[in-house]
Homo-oligomer: A and B are copies of this chain.
Amino acid sequence: MERIDGRNNDQKRPAKITRNFTKYAEGSVLVETGETKVICTASIDEKVPPFLKGAGEGWITSEYGMLPRSTQVRRIRESSRGKVDGRTMEIQRLIGRALRSVVDLKSLGEMTIWIDCDVIQADGGTRTASITGAFVALVDAINKASETKQFAKYPITDFVAAISVGIVNGEQLLDLKYEEDSNAQVDMNIVMTDAGEFVEIQGTGEQKPFSKGDMDILLGLGEKGARELIELQKEVLGEDAARIGK
């Protein structure tokens, strides 16, 4: 069976990361994976959240939003409804954990980095694109902070990228597009480091449970996709990536 856009099962969509997309944030990136487009910014805040007061450590937190017409049918604005829905909360918690996993918060010292991921256009994989793009914005923000602040040790310890995999019509696919995602029997998001280790695996077989064998194939696909995205991050960051993990 051919995929809707003609890709091979193990082929991800073309991805593009544009740095310095807007002018105020310390890090600002437009990430595109196929038709999915997300603006990711990283903002430095000198304060830390209450639970870290005086601990000498930093924090990275994330918020995620979708423009009302980033989707096929207009979504009601969460600000109008007066609350953030469960899916949004789940995603922003995921993005925060993913980025914290590659930052040494002690070396970062007392500051909070706010990661904002705002989806301009959604075509599947917005949460994984957010992680992949936000990592680049984070590097830019930390490098900018390093101009005025002396880190004991450079705080970014590894690259991190994310991609979705899933089983659609019985076939294991890499990087699901919206139509694939909404028909998937199994849907899995994989967050990986350049060291080839997993930061997060979230697999759901709501429509159909999956076997250990399926899982192994999906993890293999995810690893391939994540490695390609990390290559893109390295290319885009160029020599600004030099200190990562050193």
Contact = CB atoms under 8 A, between A and B. Distances in A.
B206 A199 contact: yes
> What is the predominant secondary structure among interface residues of chain A facing chain B?
mixed
A23 B121 contact: yes
Range for the number of chain A residues in contact with chain B: 35 or more
Contact of A201 (B28, B85, B201): B201
Nearest to A123: B23
A149 interface: no
Scoring A45, A100, A101, A207 by chain B CB atoms within 10 A of each residue's CB, the highest score goes to: A101
Given A69-B43, A101-B205, A24 B199 contact: no
A39 interface: yes
A168 interface: no
Interface of A: 22-25, 28, 35, 37, 39, 41, 43, 45, 63, 65, 67-72, 74, 77-80, 82-90, 92-93, 97, 100-101, 114, 116, 118, 120-121, 158, 192-193, 195-207, 209-212, 215, 219
The 4 tightest CB contacts between A and B, nearest first, are A197-B209, A86-B89, A78-B79, A41-B69
Given A65-B77, A200-B204, 16 more contacts: A22-B37, A23-B35, A24-B72, A74-B114, A86-B89, A90-B90, A90-B93, A100-B206, A101-B207, A193-B209, A197-B205, A197-B211, A198-B203, A198-B211, A199-B206, A201-B201
